[in-house]
Amino acid sequence: MGHVNHARYLTFFEDARMEMLARSPHGLGDSVRGHEGGGYIAARVAVDYVAPVEFRPGLTLRVRTGVAKIGTSSWTLAGEMDDDGTVVARCEVVMVAYSYKQDRPRPLDDDERAYWHTFEAQ
């Protein structure tokens, strides 16, 4: 139909989020590798579709993501996607630090909290 499907927007926002998580103190989740640090889960994802994106050769969409809020065990990421300077979507994701071993949320440790604070809007 000539446009980028709305489901792909979620994938683009996820790719940006995974890049941030991969660089975090626990990477993509130490619990997967058997460490005590734990992993992360997305507890809520909301997308506002602002404008359609026409598919075209060389299409490049830019995603910017920052931290809107940090709590005890969760933090909120706010993202924006643009097509050549025009905002086409906004995304909000509530992430939760999670202990798979204990099967429940866990508090962010000091290193994690410091890392996510670097992405807060100034």
Rounded Cα distance, 122 and 69, in Å: 12
Q: What is the pTM of this model?
A: 0.88
* Domains of the chain, residue spans: 6-117
> Quick one: how far is CA 92 from the chain centroid?
8
Predicted local distance difference test score (pLDDT) of residue 29? 62
Please list the ranges in the chain whose pLDDT falls under 50. Answer: 31-35
Rounded Cα distance, 35 and 90, in Å: 34
Half-sphere exposure of 115 (CA within 13 A, CB side): 14
Predicted local distance difference test score (pLDDT) of residue 50? 97
CA dihedral 113, 115, 118, 119 (to 10 degrees): -90
| Tens digits of residue pLDDT in 102-112 | 899 999 999 99
Rg (alpha carbons) of the chain, rounded to whole number: 16
Return the CATH class of domain 6-117: alpha beta
Rounded Cα distance, 24 and 113, in Å: 10
Predicted local distance difference test score (pLDDT) of residue 49? 96
